[in-house]
């Protein structure tokens, strides 16, 4: 039986100085989910982060923003997942993706970490790469040496608008993600709205 997502983790760095940076795109997504469901994040020391609980179709779904800084994200994910007995394939990690242009969203299960320190630590802490990932495109600076500076800075206005609209549009796939209909979720997430000109 296919189970749906029970834990959605948005990746980012805590602190006001990081709020608007590209690396915090995962935070933006779970904050949008919480706002749409009138849920609020509360500090949860035992989960090393801010957590919000949703009740969806008589099921409990958790939203999590780790407060550990990016390279220790797995500590928060494994703490909440083990406490509530949530399996890796019931976890969705939402993160910024250098290999996709701004405005693009892609869903996939498993795979490597692609140099993303948050994913790297989650894979290490869970002991498997077989969790779902929602990749939010932020673009690439074109030079590997410029990546750290790039992800820790805010997007340009045009890029921010593309990312924001991708976040909003991708929320349409949330019911399918929660019900476990991942093929339908992929169709919703990967199809550009018609108004963008085919």
164: domain CATH number? Answer: 3.40.50.1470
Residue 2 lies in a domain: no
Can you give the residue range of the structural domain that contains 86?
A: 7-196
Whether pLDDT at 166 is above 50: yes
Residue 44 domain-assigned (yes or no): yes
Q: What is the pLDDT of residue 57?
A: 80
Q: What is the mean pLDDT of residues 69-89?
A: 97
Domain contains 79 = yes
Quote the pLDDT of residue 2.
60
Q: Is residue 77 within 8 Å of 126, Cβ to Cβ?
A: yes
Domain contains 39: yes
Residue 197 pLDDT exceeds 50: no
Q: Is pLDDT at 1 greater than 60 in this prediction?
A: no
pLDDT value at residue 184: 95
Known binder of ligand: residue 117? yes
How many structural domains is the chain composed of? 1
pLDDT confidence tier of residue 196, bands split at 50, 70 and 90: very low
CB 79 within 8 A of CB 47: yes
- Does residue 170 lie in a domain region? yes
Is residue 97 in some structural domain?
yes
- Residue 5 is given by DSSP the state -
- The reply to whether 24 sits in an annotated binding site is no
Return the pLDDT at 3.
82
Is 23 inside any structural domain? yes
Which pLDDT band holds residue 194 (cuts at 50, 70, 90)?
A: low
Concerning whether 190 is annotated as a catalytic residue, the answer is no
Q: What is the pLDDT of residue 56?
A: 84
Instruction: Give percent above pLDDT 90 in the chain.
Output: 90
Q: Summarize pLDDT for 92-147 with one digit per residue, the tens.
A: 999 999 999 999 999 999 999 999 999 999 999 999 999 999 999 999 999 999 99
Mean pLDDT of 68-77: 97
Residue 149 CA to residue 112 CA, distance in Å, equals 23
**Residue 173 maps to a domain:** yes
**First-to-last CA distance in the chain?**
37
**Which one from 23, 48, 95, 116 is the annotated catalytic residue?**
23
69 is in an annotated binding site: yes
């Amino acid at each position: 039986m296919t189970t749906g997502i029970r834990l959605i983790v948005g990746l980012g760095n805590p602190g006001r100085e990081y709020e608007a940076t590209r690396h915090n795109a995962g935070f933006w997504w779970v904050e949008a989910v919480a706002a749409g469901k009138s849920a609020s994040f509360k500090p949860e020391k035992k989960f090393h982060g801010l957590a919000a609980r949703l009740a969806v179709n008589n099921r409990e779904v958790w939203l999590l923003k780790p407060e550990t800084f990016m390279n220790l994200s797995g500590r928060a994910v494994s703490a909440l997942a083990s406490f509530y007995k949530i399996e890796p394939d019931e976890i969705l990690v939402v993160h910024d993706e250098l290999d996709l242009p701004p405005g693009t969203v892609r869903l996939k299960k498993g795979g490597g970490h692609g140099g993303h320190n948050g994913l790297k630590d989650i894979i290490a802490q869970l002991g498997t790469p077989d969790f779902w990932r929602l990749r939010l495109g932020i673009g690439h600076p074109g030079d590997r040496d410029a990546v750290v500076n790039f992800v820790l800075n805010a997007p340009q206005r045009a890029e921010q608008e593309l990312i924001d609209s991708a976040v909003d549009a991708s929320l349409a796939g949330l019911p399918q993600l929660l019900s476990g209909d991942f093929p339908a979720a992929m169709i919703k997430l990967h199809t550009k709205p018609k108004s963008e000109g085919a």
